[in-house]
Each structure stands twice: as structure tokens, then as C-alpha cells.
């Protein structure tokens, strides 16, 4: 497990050129959040680093809705996504929507707090404003018409 001595920015986990591309993609895909694109990209990288380094059996980590926008943007860069984990010696974090009919998931407040702690545990800063959420929404639009679906995105290494 990589544990940094000081809390660092997630953006330090990739080169500047790619960080700029990821931020630009987030801004273009979600114009309403364009002013937050750099922060979203930073927290996406921090989230994925925490997921990749979590201890087996330690509980699912999930992104807040704004961070999820960044995860989806990063997934579009399939080669860079794979290279991100390889460069750090981490197992790839796969995207598994939590949408099993009838399954009860932990409350978002519990999982988001666990996720924030996990990010700090691996030595990365948490942008608290981006993690203030009462739900986790994969894609951010609740397109099935049921607002606040519990934890549709999660990590499983």
C-alpha cells in the first residue's frame, strides 16, 4: 500500500497533460459543472487511488455524484485508465453499478464517510464540498425515475 507522508492532491498521480485532458472532458460533458472540472478530476483520481489500495473486506467505497462524473470520464480513456493503475502497481478498479434488484445497500452517508476516510488514509486530500451528498448516483441523472437510488456505483478490485 502506498501511504504518502503529507496529504497530497490526487492530480499528482497523473501527468499534467493528461490531467488537463481529463478536466476538459469533464467540463465539456457537464457544462453546468465546468467550473468544478479540475476539482472533480482531482477527487476522481484520489477516489480511485483509495479504492485500489483498500484492504480486502474493508467495505465498499463509492463516489459522490460529482466525483462519479469524473470516474465516467476517466473510463472513456481506456488505455490511460489501465496505465494509471499499472504505473502505481495497483490492481485495476472495475466499475460495478450497484443495481441488483432487491438488494439492500448501505446508506450513502455511511459509504461516503468511509470513502473520505480511505482517501485520507492513502495520503490524499479530500475536497469536502464535492463529497457533501446524501446519495450516490451513477451518471447523476437518476434516469430510471427513482431519485436517490442507493449506491449504484461501487468499487471492486
- The domain segmentation of the chain, as residue ranges, is 10-156
Per-residue pLDDT, 39: 98
CA-to-CA distance for 81 and 138, rounded, in angstroms?
A: 18
Per-residue pLDDT, 74: 97
Per-residue pLDDT, 129: 95
Radius of gyration of the chain (CA): 15
Nearest to 123 by CA among 39, 53, 32, 23: 53
CA-to-CA distance for 40 and 156, rounded, in angstroms?
A: 21
Nearest to 48 by CA among 115, 114, 107: 115
Per-residue pLDDT, 6: 77
Q: From first to last of its 157 residues, what are the pLDDT tens digits of the chain? A: 565 567 899 999 999 999 999 999 999 999 989 999 999 999 999 999 999 999 888 888 889 989 999 999 999 999 999 999 999 999 999 887 777 788 777 888 888 999 999 999 999 999 999 999 876 655 333 333 344 433 335 554 3
Amino acid at each position: 500500500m502506498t501511504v504518502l507522508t503529507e496529504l497530497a492532491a490526487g492530480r499528482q498521480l497523473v501527468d499534467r497533460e493528461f490531467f488537463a485532458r481529463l478536466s476538459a472532458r469533464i467540463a465539456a460533458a457537464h457544462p453546468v459543472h465546468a467550473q468544478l472540472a479540475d476539482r472533480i478530476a482531482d477527487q476522481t483520481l484520489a477516489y480511485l487511488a483509495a479504492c485500489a489500495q483498500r484492504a480486502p473486506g474493508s467495505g465498499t467505497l463509492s463516489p459522490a455524484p460529482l466525483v462519479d462524473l469524473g470516474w465516467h470520464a476517466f473510463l472513456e480513456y481506456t488505455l490511460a485508465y489501465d496505465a494509471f493503475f499499472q504505473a502505481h502497481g495497483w490492481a485495476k478498479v472495475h466499475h460495478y453499478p450497484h443495481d441488483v434488484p432487491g438488494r439492500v445497500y448501505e446508506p450513502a452517508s455511511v459509504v461516503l464517510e468511509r470513502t473520505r476516510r480511505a482517501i485520507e488514509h492513502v495520503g490524499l486530500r479530500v475536497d469536502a464540498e464535492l463529497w457533501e451528498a446524501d446519495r450516490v448516483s451513477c451518471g447523476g441523472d437518476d434516469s430510471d425515475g427513482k431519485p436517490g437510488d442507493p449506491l449504484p456505483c461501487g468499487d471492486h478490485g
